[in-house]
Structure 1
């Protein structure tokens, strides 16, 4: 069966790392249940520093459940239980010694739909700093500007920082939410289908932003968009029915997959 080739953008190729980078997340034998529903089944994944890892697969396959487990947002869901281990830089994230507040400071999260606070553009970014005890006004202003610049939105909002964030477009709101996550200077950025609600122009801006941010951050992104995964990621994990079918470099997953189910999904035969 012929494999449908998904091309990368030639003007902004994703380069494979020439050296092996330090491990950021190591998931070993991870299982998760919602009540009696076995949502994640024996997940084994190793994700490395300053790489973009894409998680692909059909709806309901466990992609979002997995990414929400990485910063323990899954704790907010009732009747959830887990087994196995997930280590963040060698520390068990479920250990009593690892405070969830510390984990979420180090691991930021961007959701599927932009969710700005009903506050000014400035306060949307400053809010997370203040609740973490940063009160120095000069430092807050510096961090806000730095984060907005990193999220490639500073030039668009620098003259309207005190206007309500709801006045921004959908794409601008999503980049504002990315800036809000970056304000705490995290180590990892989790992104759960961050462009699914955006138009093509805004999607392109977020993709270009991801490419720039990986110079400093490790990024794990859930996406339904095969072309997007091929364009922006270094590694790709294919989830199906709560399992990882295949995990490898993005080039291999899209052009030389080892499992026929991966080929069938990428070529559009199901999903």
Structure 2
């Protein structure tokens, strides 16, 4: 039976040295949904996103208290395997970051690291991942050419395909379209609607229209606090907190 909640954060606090960046965050994210995190710059939404696959572990002087559970398992527990976690909970960054190698080798990189060596199996994974990322038809005739020759939008979809190749459960997207043109942005947004049939997606965005278009639920962060979370149409039409309405309507942020 598929659990209702893919991710549960409870009383989550995070400090960068003396800076208290996240305050008692309680947030549940349902399996198979797109959850948008909105709020002004520096409000904690990207920091929260990075707690979900322990990317903040890579930063000096970070302290975390509280629980984050993926499929009911506390990822900050003593028995948590960070390598396995980051395979299951992958991240797409603000700017595309393809490896300086061929399109094929970008996609095959993860499976090879995890022990897949047979060419026939890698061929299948590469094609499947590029099809899932809506990129196959555009690159199938140049798989062995450098990924650096792709457009920005294609590079971002390549990075998504690279994640899909290791078969994650959750896709974390940190402003994945902020560096893209409107047409490429639309393609990535359309892609998220297809991918949510198989994956749980959490996206940080500064684009209010994007959050309204693609997400099922929206959470508003402000000054390190989670102000409110609800169904997206409720947040955008009838939020419970005046601060949410002020932000959405452009009065600040």
TM-score (norm 1): 0.92
Point out where structure 1 has 5 or more consecutive residues left out of the alignment: 1-19
Match of residue 149 from structure 1: 131
Contact 2:3 2:71 (C-alpha < 8 Å) held by counterparts:
no
Report deviation, 1:21: 6.4
- The yes-or-no answer on 1:257 pairing with 2:243 is no
- Deviation digits for residues 143-179 of structure 1 (CA, Å, limit 9, x no counterpart): 1100000000000000000000000000000000000
Instruction: Decide whether aligned partners of structure 1 residues 21 and 249 sit closer, same or farther in structure 2, where only a CA change above 3 A counts.
Output: farther
- Deviation digits for residues 95-144 of structure 1 (CA, Å, limit 9, x no counterpart): 12110011111111100000000000000000111011111211111011
Match of residue 226 from structure 1: 208
Match of residue 58 from structure 1: 40
Aligned residues: CA RMSD: 0.9
Match of residue 4 from structure 2: 22
- The yes-or-no answer on 1:88 pairing with 2:70 is yes
- The yes-or-no answer on 1:270 pairing with 2:252 is yes
Instruction: Decide whether aligned partners of structure 1 residues 21 and 265 sit closer, same or farther in structure 2, where only a CA change above 3 A counts.
Output: farther
**Distance in 1 (alpha carbons) for counterparts of 2:3 and 2:110:** 30
Of residues 86, 89, 101, the one that matches 1:119 is 101
**Distance in 1 (alpha carbons) for counterparts of 2:198 and 2:72:** 20
Match of residue 164 from structure 2: 182
Report deviation, 1:22: 1.3
Point out where structure 2 has 5 or more consecutive residues left out of the alignment: none
Match of residue 37 from structure 1: 19
**Distance in 2 (alpha carbons) for counterparts of 1:21 and 1:84:** 21
TM-score (norm 2): 0.98
Match of residue 81 from structure 2: 99
Tell me the matched-pair count.
Answer: 252
Of residues 50, 58, 61, the one that matches 1:68 is 50
Match of residue 9 from structure 1: none
**Distance in 1 (alpha carbons) for counterparts of 2:121 and 2:169:** 19
**Distance in 1 (alpha carbons) for counterparts of 2:205 and 2:3:** 24
